[in-house]
Chains A and B, each alone.
Chain A
Amino acid sequence: MEIKGEKGGLLQGIQILDLADEKASFCTKLLSDLGARVIKVERPGGDSSRKIGPFLGNLPHPERSLFFYYNNTNKLGITLNIENSSGREIFFRLIKRADVVVETFPPGYLKELGLGFEILSELNPKLILVSVTGFGQDGPRCQYKSCDIVASAFGGQMYVSGSLSTPPLKPFGEQSYYTASLFAAIGILLALRKRNFSGKGEHIDISLQEAVVSTLDHIMVRYFYEQIISKRQGNLYWNYSFSILACKDGHILITPFQQWETLIEWMDSEGMAEDLKDEKFKEEKYRLRQFEHIIEVLERWTKTHTTKELFELGQLMRFPWAPIYSPMEVLNNTQLKARRFFIDVDHPEIGTSLKYPGIPYQFSPSSFNRWEKAPLVGEDNIKIYQVELGLSKEELQRLSSIGAI
Chain B
Amino acid sequence: MKQGILLGLRVLDFTWMLAGPYATRLLADFGAEVIKVQSKKTSKGAESNLTGYFNTWNRNKRNITLDMSYPEAREIVLKLTKISDVLIENFSPRVMSNLGLNYEKLKEVRPDLIMVSMSGMGRTGPWKDFVAFGPTLQALSGLTYLTSFTQDSPMGIGYAYSDPVSGLYAALAILTALEYRDRTGRGQYIDLSEYEAICTLMGPTLLNVSVNHQNVSPQGNQSDDISAAPYGSYKCLGSDRWCIIAVFNEVEWDSLCTVLGHPDWTREERFSTLSKRKENEEELDEFLEQWTLHHTPEEVVNLLQKAGISAGVVQNAEDLARDPHLIARDYFVQLEHPVLGKTLSDTSPIKFRESLTIDWKSAPVLGEDNRYVYTKLLSFTENELSYYIEKGIIG
Using known A-B contacts A202-B353, A364-B189, determine if residue A145 contacts B305 with beta carbons closer than 8 Å.
yes
Q: Which of B134, B139, B345 contacts A220 (CB 8 A)?
A: B345
Q: How far is the CA of A200 from the CA of B156 in the complex (A)?
A: 44
Q: B318 near A182 (CB under 8 angstroms)? A: no
Q: Which residues of A contact B218 (CB under 8 A)?
A: 172
Interface positions, chain A 134-156, Cβ under 8 Å from B, are 135-136, 138-141, 144-147, 149-156
| Interface flag for B258 (CB, 8 Å) | no
**Highest count of chain A CB atoms <10 Å: which of B5, B158, B207:** B158
Q: Which of A54, A194, A226 contacts B204 (CB 8 A)?
A: A54
Q: B310 near A145 (CB under 8 angstroms)? A: yes
Nearest CB on B from A102, distance (A): 13
Q: Which residues of B contact A170 (CB under 8 A)?
A: 147, 221, 233
Q: B315 near A159 (CB under 8 angstroms)? A: yes
Q: How far is the CA of A98 from the CA of B140 in the complex (A)?
A: 40
Q: A224 near B244 (CB under 8 angstroms)? A: no
Q: B124 near A220 (CB under 8 angstroms)? A: no
Nearest CB on B from A39, distance (A): 19
For A319-334 the 0/1 string (1 means CB < 8 A from B) is: 1111111111111011
Q: A204 near B350 (CB under 8 angstroms)? A: yes
| Interface-located stretch among B75-83, B177-185, B365-373 | B177-185
For A161-179 the 0/1 string (1 means CB < 8 A from B) is: 1111011111111010011
For B339-353 the 0/1 string (1 means CB < 8 A from A) is: 000011110111111
Q: A327 near B345 (CB under 8 angstroms)? A: no
Interface positions, chain B 286-339, Cβ under 8 Å from A, are 305, 308-321, 323-326, 328-329, 331
Q: How far is the CA of A341 from the CA of B310 in the complex (A)?
A: 36
Q: A193 near B125 (CB under 8 angstroms)? A: no
For A1-35 the 0/1 string (1 means CB < 8 A from B) is: 00000000011111000000000001000100010
| Interface flag for B28 (CB, 8 Å) | no
| Interface flag for B284 (CB, 8 Å) | no
**Highest count of chain B CB atoms <10 Å: which of A196, A342, A362:** A362
Nearest CB on B from A219, distance (A): 5
| Interface flag for A44 (CB, 8 Å) | no
| Interface-located stretch among A235-243, A266-274, A385-393, A396-404 | A235-243
Using known A-B contacts A167-B221, A169-B149, determine if residue A182 contacts B346 with beta carbons closer than 8 Å.
no
Q: Which of A13, A139, A189 contacts B172 (CB 8 A)?
A: A189
Nearest CB on B from A331, distance (A): 5
Q: Which residues of A contact B109 (CB under 8 A)?
A: none
Q: Which residues of B contact A204 (CB under 8 A)?
A: 350-353
Interface size class of B (residues with CB under 8 A): 35 or more
Q: How far is the CA of A56 from the CA of B97 in the complex (A)?
A: 45
| Interface-located stretch among A74-82, A85-93, A353-361 | A353-361
Interface positions, chain B 119-162, Cβ under 8 Å from A, are 121-122, 124-127, 130-137, 139-149, 153-161
Q: B161 near A215 (CB under 8 angstroms)? A: yes
Using known A-B contacts A325-B139, A327-B146, determine if residue A154 contacts B191 with beta carbons closer than 8 Å.
no
Q: Which residues of B contact A159 (CB under 8 A)?
A: 242, 314-317
| Interface flag for A123 (CB, 8 Å) | no
Q: Which of B140, B156, B211, B346 contacts A213 (CB 8 A)?
A: B346
Q: How far is the CA of A221 from the CA of B194 in the complex (A)?
A: 23
| Interface flag for B383 (CB, 8 Å) | no
| Interface flag for B216 (CB, 8 Å) | yes
Interface positions, chain B 66-119, Cβ under 8 Å from A, are none
| Interface flag for B190 (CB, 8 Å) | yes
Q: Which of A13, A153, A184, A234 contacts B155 (CB 8 A)?
A: A234
Q: Which of B141, B205, B242 contacts A167 (CB 8 A)?
A: B242
For A195-222 the 0/1 string (1 means CB < 8 A from B) is: 0101010111111011101111111111
| Interface flag for A158 (CB, 8 Å) | yes
Using known A-B contacts A230-B316, A244-B156, A364-B189, determine if residue A338 contacts B350 with beta carbons closer than 8 Å.
no
Q: A325 near B145 (CB under 8 angstroms)? A: yes
| Interface flag for B171 (CB, 8 Å) | yes
Q: A326 near B207 (CB under 8 angstroms)? A: no
| Interface-located stretch among A65-73, A107-115, A292-300 | A65-73
| Interface flag for A225 (CB, 8 Å) | yes
Nearest CB on B from A178, distance (A): 5
| Interface flag for B202 (CB, 8 Å) | yes
Q: B139 near A253 (CB under 8 angstroms)? A: yes
For A105-125 the 0/1 string (1 means CB < 8 A from B) is: 000000000000100000000
Nearest CB on B from A321, distance (A): 7
Q: Which residues of A contact B344 (CB under 8 A)?
A: 224
Q: Which residues of B contact A154 (CB under 8 A)?
A: 312-313, 315, 323
Q: How far is the CA of A186 from the CA of B149 in the complex (A)?
A: 34
Q: Which of B234, B243, B315 contacts A155 (CB 8 A)?
A: B315
Nearest CB on A from B393, distance (A): 28
Q: How far is the CA of A319 from the CA of B165 in the complex (A)?
A: 22
| Interface-located stretch among B224-232, B262-270, B275-283 | B224-232
Considering only CB atoms, which chain A residue lies closest to B323 in the complex?
Answer: A154
Considering only CB atoms, which chain B residue lies closest to A60 in the complex?
Answer: B227
Q: Which residues of A contact B345 (CB under 8 A)?
A: 220-221, 224
Q: How far is the CA of A226 from the CA of B166 in the complex (A)?
A: 26
Q: How far is the CA of A203 from the CA of B76 in the complex (A)?
A: 42
Q: A320 near B159 (CB under 8 angstroms)? A: no
Q: Which of A54, A139, A149, A206 contacts B224 (CB 8 A)?
A: A54
Q: A149 near B139 (CB under 8 angstroms)? A: no
Q: How far is the CA of A152 from the CA of B317 in the complex (A)?
A: 13
For A343-385 the 0/1 string (1 means CB < 8 A from B) is: 0000000000011111111111110000000000000000000
Q: B140 near A190 (CB under 8 angstroms)? A: no
A residues sitting closer than 8 Å to B (CB atoms) are: 10-14, 26, 30, 34, 51-54, 56-58, 66-67, 69-71, 117, 135-136, 138-141, 144-147, 149-164, 166-173, 175, 178-180, 182-187, 189-194, 196, 198, 200, 202-207, 209-211, 213-226, 228-235, 237-238, 241-242, 244, 251, 253, 315, 318-331, 333-336, 338-339, 341-342, 354-366
9 A-B residue contacts at CB 8 Å?
A: A53-B225, A169-B148, A186-B350, A187-B350, A203-B353, A215-B161, A315-B131, A335-B125, A361-B192
Known pairs A12-B183, A164-B240, A235-B156; list 12 more (Cβ under 8 Å).
A54-B224, A135-B325, A153-B243, A154-B323, A159-B242, A182-B169, A193-B179, A235-B153, A242-B135, A315-B131, A330-B199, A341-B196
B residues sitting closer than 8 Å to A (CB atoms) are: 5-6, 18, 26, 30, 51-53, 56, 121-122, 124-127, 130-137, 139-149, 153-161, 163-166, 168-169, 171-173, 175-180, 182-183, 186, 188-197, 199-212, 215-216, 218, 220-221, 224-227, 231-235, 240, 242-244, 246, 248, 305, 308-321, 323-326, 328-329, 331, 343-346, 348-354, 356
In the A-B complex, the 8 residue pairs with the smallest Cβ-Cβ separation, listed nearest first, are A225-B52, A160-B158, A360-B196, A223-B317, A172-B146, A150-B312, A53-B225, A189-B175
